[in-house]
């Protein structure tokens, strides 16, 4: 096993024992496409590409798609000022196919510049499958996310691996940071508080916060762990740590900001005690105990 750019490359005999953050593309080998679940996924992907063609999103030639990034509709804001999102050119260097886990789904990706660039059609099919395409497009525009077109080499690798249909003329890639933002905006990953306010007042809690995607603060109820145990201070919904660190009600992070390197599995590095806390000694100790216990829970589940 070797480590390259934070990516674990596993030998075949190691894969059944380890569950790294990134795994090699053998977990998505062509042989797996013969089973019924893979056939259903390919049908969903084919329908997704067909719908893009019908809506006029398909380019006239493949050579054009290799040179231009995909674009979203950019509309003037209330002050009649047009905000241009951060534009990225398509990748010209070849990158081997890998996979990364997001919401318990393995998504094919290429690691470029230290960050995963996920196959967007596969992400849409596996993670956002129940979300209408029109709603996804609206969120992409609202978050100022501009996907990148796969290079010719990357496109061929995705086809050869059975990730996308062989008839696909192009494929969008989305950075993992933007994928996490899109998921937080499209999916409700929090749950309504299952306990009464009077009961919560009697429970021990810790004021915590994070600074990702505009930031958010909340209360950690250790007694509710390992289930949803962090209450958002704004919407009062409960979240597990991985979901809370991508949760935000801030509008400042949507415009003129490039997000890079975010991974919700790194939640212990994002969450911290709220700066408003005056007495921190007991809170720090309780928070560290929570992190250790929750990590142990995740390790037990993975085993």
Q: What is the pLDDT of residues 197-242, one digit of tens each?
A: 777 777 888 999 998 888 899 999 988 888 899 999 888 889 999 9
Cβ neighbours of residue 237 closer than 8 Å, sequence gap 6 or more: 190, 191, 192, 193, 231
Six-digit token string for 204: 């021990």
Specify whether 67 is located in the same domain as 110.
Answer: yes
pLDDT in tens, 68-112: 344 344 444 555 544 445 555 555 555 689 999 998 899 999 998
User: pLDDT at position 160, please?
Assistant: 93
Mark whether 231 and 167 lie in a shared domain.
no
**Domain containing residue 237:** 197-302
Given a contact cutoff of 8 angstroms between Cβ atoms, the answer to whether 117 and 109 are in contact is yes
Chain segment 3-57, per-residue pLDDT in tens: 444 444 444 444 444 343 444 444 444 444 445 555 666 666 666 666 665 555 4
What pLDDT shows up at residue 275?
83
Question: 136 and 102 in one domain?
Answer: yes
User: What is the average pLDDT across 117-121?
Assistant: 95
Query: Tens of pLDDT along 238-282?
Result: 999 999 998 888 776 556 566 777 888 899 999 999 887 766 778
Say if CB 205 and CB 219 are below 8 A apart.
yes
Question: What pLDDT sits at residue 255?
Answer: 60
Q: Is the pLDDT of residue 140 over 70?
A: yes
Pairing of strands 216-220, 2-4: unpaired
Q: Say yes or no: 98 and 58 in one domain.
A: yes
Model confidence at 122, pLDDT cuts 50, 70, 90, reads very high
> What spatial distance separates the first Cα and last Cα of the chain, rounded to whole Å?
20
Run of H or E residues at 227: none
Overall pTM > 0.85: no
Q: Does 157 or 14 have the greater pLDDT score? A: 157
The better pLDDT of the pair 120, 2 is held by 120
Same-domain check for residues 155 and 257: no
Per-residue confidence (pLDDT) for residue 203, from 0 to 100? 86
pLDDT band of residue 61 (cuts 50, 70, 90) is very low
Check residue 62 and give its pLDDT.
43
Q: Are residues 137 and 23 part of one domain? A: yes
Confidence of residue 191 (pLDDT cuts 50, 70, 90): confident
Q: What three-state secondary structure class fits 288?
A: helix
Dihedral sign of CA atoms 198, 200, 206, 211 in order:
negative
| Residue 259 forms part of a structural domain | yes
pLDDT of 51 reads 66
What pLDDT, on a 0 to 100 scale, did the predictor assign at position 164? 93
Number of domains in the chain: 2
Last residue of a domain, one of 142, 162, 186: 186
Q: Report the pLDDT value the prediction gives residue 108, as an integer from 0 to 100.
A: 95
Q: Report the C-alpha gap between 205 and 236 in whole angstroms.
A: 14
The Cα 276–Cα 71 span in angstroms is 41
Is 191 within a domain?
no
């Amino acid at each position: 096993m070797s480590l390259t750019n934070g990516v674990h490359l596993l030998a075949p005999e190691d894969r059944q024992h380890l569950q790294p953050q990134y795994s090699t593309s053998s977990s998505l080998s062509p042989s797996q496409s013969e089973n019924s679940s893979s056939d259903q996924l390919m049908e969903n992907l084919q329908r997704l590409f067909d719908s893009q063609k019908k809506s006029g999103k398909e380019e006239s030639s493949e050579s054009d798609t290799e040179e231009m990034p995909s674009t979203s509709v950019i509309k003037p804001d209330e002050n009649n000022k047009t905000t241009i999102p951060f534009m990225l050119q398509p990748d010209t260097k070849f990158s081997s196919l890998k996979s990364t886990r997001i919401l318990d789904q393995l998504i094919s990706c290429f690691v470029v510049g230290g960050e995963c660039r996920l196959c967007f059609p596969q992400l849409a099919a596996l993670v956002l499958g129940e979300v209408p395409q029109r709603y996804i497009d609206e969120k992409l525009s609202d978050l100022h996310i501009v996907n990148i077109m796969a290079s010719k080499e990357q496109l061929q690798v995705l086809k050869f691996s059975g990730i996308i249909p062989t008839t696909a003329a192009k494929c969008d890639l989305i950075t993992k940071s933007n994928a996490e933002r899109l998921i937080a905006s499209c999916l409700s990953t929090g749950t309504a508080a299952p306990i009464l306010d009077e009961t919560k007042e009697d429970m021990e809690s810790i004021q915590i916060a994070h600074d990702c995607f505009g930031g958010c603060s909340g209360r950690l109820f250790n007694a509710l762990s390992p289930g949803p145990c962090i209450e958002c201070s704004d919407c009062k919904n409960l979240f597990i740590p991985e979901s809370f660190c991508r949760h935000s009600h801030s509008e400042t992070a949507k415009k003129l900001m490039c997000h890079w390197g975010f991974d919700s599995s790194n939640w212990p590095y994002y969450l911290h005690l709220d700066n408003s806390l005056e007495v921190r000694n007991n809170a720090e100790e309780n928070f560290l105990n929570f992190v250790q216990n929750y990590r142990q829970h995740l390790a037990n589940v993975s085993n």
